[in-house]
Amino acid sequence: MKVAIDLFGTTFQNPVLLAAGTCGFGRELSDVVDLDALGGFVTKSVTLEPRHGNPAPRVTEFGGGMMNSIGLANPGLARTRTEKLPWIRDNIHRAHVFVSVAGHSVEEFLDLVAGLDDADGFLGFELNLSCPNDTRRGGAPFALDPPLVAEIVSGARARTERPLLAKLAPNDLDVSKTARVAVDAGADGLTLVNTLPGLLLDPGGAPELGAGQGGVSGPALLPIGLRAVSSARAATHVPLVGLGGVGGAADAVAYARAGASLVGIGTASFADPRAGERVARDLRAWRPRSGIASWSDLQPPVPDPEVEALDRPAQTAERRTGEETAAWRR
């Protein structure tokens, strides 16, 4: 199957990305992984100041996958500019890189985008609106608060012309609404999903993770990610990055069938750092049944933005004036 795909004004040689938080800033994996064999990767989320992260243990496993509570450990904006991005610029040639940014407030997101935008070495930003482990916000992700999503995305949009992805949460019961809010505010694409809040206890009742709760990832997240991608596909026209529980090419194909243009590999690459290369290779060797020559052919039709606009809940609400509203109040 032909796996190259044109998106965000460029060509991805294949649709496989390494997800944020699974490959550092690339260099950490470069001895074992041929990063340039991938479609791309997303960096560890960057905050304004360096962070040590949460207390150990920060990862633990269970039957359905794993849990983490890294707590946004990262070198901060300044070192990302002076050390991490120059390495990417000099060493990554074919893979496309998104820098993940995570603020503790709207202003911090905007300062991060403004503070990185003129650096070299990366294609676009992923706004991490869905970290479940930010103790400064009590684990409450921005992605579950649509007005904040709109503020962050539109503020970021005003500060960069680069492709802008908004990363949404798996426990969003109305993810199609959040997806529309992000796209209306100027997101060029959406990443679905981050890890799902969870808790593992040892037999004595103590949390297995040092921080208490954490984010669930791995095979258990596959159906949750597929549902989110499918809902966002029906509600928006922008490219989607599907993520959650991808372990092999068949899972990646399922994400494409749900509407994803790119797929992220996360937990699978902890067990096998070369999982991304393997999935890209297996997709290239994939023999679809009939009428499908390329990865893009797997995807369902994308909604027409004009029709989509007519169907917006906000606009519907605006149109519901006069008689109709009066009828509801009766």
Contact footprint for ligand RRO (CB under 6 A): 21, 45, 68-72, 102, 128, 131-133, 194-195, 215
Distance CA 330, CA 315 (A): 22
Residue found under tokens 């074919």 = 94
Contact yes or no for 171/205 (Cβ under 8 A): no
For ligand RRO, the closer of residues 67 and 256 by Cβ is 67
| Minimal distance, residue 297 CB to ligand RRO, in Å | 32
Compare residues 5 and 246 and give the one whose CB is closer to ligand RRO: 246
154 or 213: CB nearest ligand RRO: 213
Measured from the CB atom, the residue of 14 and 45 that comes closer to ligand RRO is 45
- The smaller minimum CB distance to ligand RRO, of residues 45 and 230, is found at 45
Per-residue tokens: 207: 């949390």
Q: Which one, 69 or 269, has the nearer CB to ligand RRO?
A: 69
- For residues 79 and 50, is the Cβ–Cβ distance under 8 A? yes
- Could you give the CA distance from residue 154 to residue 171 in angstroms, rounded to a whole number? 23
Contact between residue 155 and residue 143 where contact means Cβ atoms under 8 Å apart: no
Least Å distance, CB 128 to ligand RRO, is 5
- Distance (Å, whole) CA 33 – CA 50: 26
Give yes or no for a contact between 261 and 239, defined as CB atoms under 8 angstroms apart. yes
Find the shortest distance in angstroms from Cβ 100 to ligand RRO.
8
Residue among 116, 129, 131, 168 flagged as catalytic: 131
Active site residue 23: no
- To ligand RRO, the closest distance from the beta carbon of 132 in angstroms equals 6
Side by side, the strands of the sheet bearing 65-68 are 59-62, 65-68, 214-217, 196-198
**Tokens 């599907």 correspond to what residue?**
242
Longest dimension (CA), the chain: 69
Closest residue to ligand RRO, judged by C-beta, is 215
Nearest distance from C-beta of residue 206 to ligand RRO, angstroms? 20
CB of 287 to ligand RRO, least distance (A): 35
**Beta carbon nearer to ligand RRO, 1 or 127:** 127
Q: Shortest gap between Cβ of 282 and ligand RRO (angstroms)? A: 26
d(CA 204, CA 55): 19
**Positions marked catalytic:** 131
